[in-house]
Amino acid sequence: MTRHPRKIIIDTDPGQDDAFAILLALASPEELDVLGICAVAGNVPLNWTERNARVICELAGKPQTKVFAGCDAPLKRPLVTAEHVHGKTGLDGPVMAEPTMPLQPGHAVDFLIDTLRREPSGTVTLCPLGPLTNIATAFLKAPDIVGRVQEIVLMGGAYFEVGNITPAAEFNIYVDPEAAEVVFKAGVPLVVMPLDVTHKVLTNRARVEAFRALGTNVGRVAAEWADFFERFDMAKYGMDGAPLHDPCVIAYLLQPGLFKGRHINVEIETQSDLTLGMTVADWWGVTNRKANAMFMGAVDADGFFALLTDRLGRP
Ligand code: RIB
Ligand code: CA
């Protein structure tokens, strides 16, 4: 029986780590059919994230990929960005030429709605790699699409690893906690890649040199993105590299056995200024709250980097 590639939509705020995820997805056409890429404001403003998504698609040799611009601000709060991590452009490190591929007309939220209404129910997986503003806006604007989503596999949140933008919150959730609350309460099957996992897939010299040793433009650019991106986390955490957060989402779709977690209840703090955006994960089952997320806690890091490097090396 021929296996058809899994249909996915990537929602993203590139970001060097988002770029690794998009490259990994586009290098895996036998397993993944990327219906479109939706840019959202997050690491950097929307004018940069939509531009960066197109830069990455052209680097991947896939200029026909559909890229849409989405929401330029959270549902109800001012945008918080992360240039201190990703640089002014969001893809600092190598100098990248301006993209020539077009940005699709129309809003990313309408692309999400139209695609989920068009494709057979239960056949499209959403892969959010940034703040959940686009996804939540689509769910609020068209509640009929919620039950049509096959699964949401997202990067966001933290429990044992605590926060990276505040002591309590991870960046993607913190930027738009109200959007995260909509998504976590929507009832769609949810797989969460929190900092608890992504802080275990750290670049190090050998891993970055393995990108460079591919001897391709993709390998060179990937190594230079890692060289830039890792300086912040190395200084902050004393790590010997940087966590490649977002490609964990795509790696899960390709090789789910790389990851281990628990199906638990996860709720979002939206009221307290002190803990705003915290993912309150009932890891030990101390409440009667209904489980709503497969919350990942462990990963085979060597297997992850072997997969990533192999796919980045594909022509
Ligand atoms: O906290 C890490 C997450 O925030 C990653 O998705 C990174 O790209 C930023 O969006
Ligand atoms: Ca991201």
Beta strands in 109-240, from DSSP E residues, in sequence order: 124-128, 149-155, 190-193
Model pTM greater than 0.95?
yes
Comparison of pLDDT for 241 and 220, the residue scoring more: 220
Q: Is the pLDDT of residue 240 over 90?
A: no
CA torsion, ordered 39, 182, 75, 267, to nearest 10 deg: -100
Rounded to 10°, the helix 16-26/247-254 angle is 20
Neighbours of 297 (CB within 10 A): 18
Q: Dmax of the chain from CA atoms?
A: 53
Q: Is the CB of 13 under 6 A from ligand 1?
A: yes
- Letter for the amino acid at 125? T
List active site positions: 245
Topology adopted by domain 6-312: Inosine-uridine Nucleoside N-ribohydrolase; Chain A (3.90.245)
Report domain extents, the chain. 6-312
If pLDDT is split at 50, 70 and 90, which confidence band does 236 have? confident
The torsion angles phi and psi of 189, rounded to 5 degrees, stand at -55, 130
Centre of ligand 1 to C-alpha 120, Å, is 31
Q: What is the pLDDT of residues 241-285, one digit of tens each?
A: 899 999 999 999 999 999 999 999 999 999 999 999 999 999 999
Alpha helices (H) along 82-191: 83-86, 108-118, 133-141, 171-175, 177-184
Residue among 17, 20, 23 whose CB has most ligand 1 atoms within 8 A, to mutate = 17
Quickly state the pLDDT bin for 2 (edges 50, 70, 90). Answer: low
